[in-house]
Amino acid sequence: MLSYLLSLIFVIPLCFMKKNYWLVQNTLFLISFLFIVNNFYCNYFMSISYYFGSDVISYGLILLSLWICSLMLMASESVYRTSNFFNMFLFLILMLLIFLFLTFSSMSLFMFYLFFESSLIPTLLLILGWGYQPERLQAGIYLLFYTLLASLPLLVGIFYLMNFSFSLSIYLLKDQSIFYDLFYLCMIFAFLVKMPMFLVHLWLPKAHVEAPVSGSMILAGVLLKLGGYGLLRVYPFIMLSGMINNFIWVSISLVGGVLVSLICLRQMDLKALIAYSSVAHMGIVLAGLMTLTMWGISGSYTLMIAHGLCSSGLFCLANISYERMGSRSLLINKGLLNFMPSLSLWWFLLCSSNMAAPPTLNLLGEVCLLNSIVSWSWVTMITLSLLSFFSAAYTLYLYAYSQHGKLLSGFYSSSMGFSREYLLLFLHWFPLNLLIMKAEPCILWL
């Protein structure tokens, strides 16, 4: 793991040289491919250095981080084109990637906490520095306070754990069993806010709407997955409390998912719609994970990977429209089928992935999650059927409203995408549909 970390650190000087934007991006792709080739699929930690190691969960999420960060640079070409402090921009993305890499590969809970919190700083600077509207300051404060307020109890919980079991190694802790409700709440609350669970989700749409495209991509693609990853790591030693108290979180997530889907149906802002759909998807991931069944835990991991690629791709599409139209409103982004016909295919492919149509990885994740939640309690069928229906409804609403209708008269008659944009969308969509051919690492790692 240390070799990858060093290779990322050695890319930092490249950020500050002139005209090295694409070199940095290609280097990140190279590191991603090396990481793919060196795959070590195992359900226990491997390639261990002093504090770092990787198992299947870490492997998938580190790979997702590397991939999304490479694509972020491809999507943010306008920062380079307009010379909008792109050296600093590259540096921030690279620092964020290093923090994410360290978070996912930490074997000590305290190190995990440290890097989990550190990843907040580059994200905040991305939103404040390259965001679009003046409200980005408020969005940044929301992001900071929600996450930090919930994370302090986690730190206290980690110190209590150290006192209780004299170890903070994730690998050694999984045989412990601590039955203490306050400790249980401390350990999971930070992750619930990060997911985000309904009721503590308000920071997410705000942050997404104000963030630049790269900020939205990393938020939807990787930062929401930190919550799920944390829960997968801490549940082994709070299993007993979980079995008693988890029904609360499952109910909030499922009902919240339905309500958020209804909120999606009245959004006029492209980015806000995609951001709220993320909350609905994470709701079902959380509910499945909380059932603590094998189906649920495997399915939540699968859907986290799938949602990371799919949601990130949708944000890229919204940004491509925004760059042409100068607005994210659905009232203006109408009739794109006439305006950018070649992009309508990508809208269709990514929207269908968002609906969990076959053959995407989303379908596999959702089937596993539906299985686990219904087997946990048959009453959940009501909310799940509504969730599935509205999920399809708001995705169709997004597609139909943006592609059909009359084009606004103030625009050119047609506008093609750049090959860079098609490649960007292809690199989101292709892994999403390819991974279902090799689903064993996603499902059979427990």
Helix 136-165 and helix 120-130: axis angle, to 10°?
Answer: 180
Question: Which one-letter amino acid corresponds to residue 116?
Answer: F
**Residue 418: per-residue pLDDT:** 93
3-state helix, strand, coil in the chain (%, to 5): 75, 0, 25
Kindly state the average pLDDT of the residues 213-232.
96
Kindly state the average pLDDT of the residues 422-429.
97
Task: List, for residues 361-420, the tens digit of each pLDDT value.
Answer: 999 999 999 999 999 999 999 999 999 999 999 999 999 999 999 888 888 788 888 999
**Residue 150: per-residue pLDDT:** 93
Task: List, for residues 122-171, the tens digit of each pLDDT value.
Answer: 999 999 999 988 999 999 999 999 999 999 999 999 999 999 899 999 98
The backbone region for 377, taken as left when phi is positive above 0, alpha when psi lies in -120 to 50, beta otherwise, is beta
Is the pLDDT at 39 greater than 90, yes or no? no
| Domain assignments of the chain as residue spans, ordered by start | 1-444
Is the pLDDT at 49 greater than 90, yes or no? no
**Residue 110: per-residue pLDDT:** 96
Confidence band for 278, pLDDT divided at 50, 70 and 90: very high
**Residue 216: per-residue pLDDT:** 96
Confidence band for 19, pLDDT divided at 50, 70 and 90: confident
Is the pLDDT at 40 greater than 80, yes or no? no
In angstroms, the Cα distances linking 233 to 12, 170, 205, 372 are 30, 7, 26, 19
Weakest-pLDDT range from 114-118, 184-188, 254-258, 404-408: 404-408
Is the pLDDT at 108 greater than 80, yes or no? yes
Helix 2-9 and helix 86-105: axis angle, to 10°?
Answer: 170
Confidence band for 312, pLDDT divided at 50, 70 and 90: very high
Kindly state the average pLDDT of the residues 200-217.
95
Instruction: Mark out the alpha helices in 326-418 (DSSP H runs).
Output: 336-339, 341-354, 361-376, 380-403
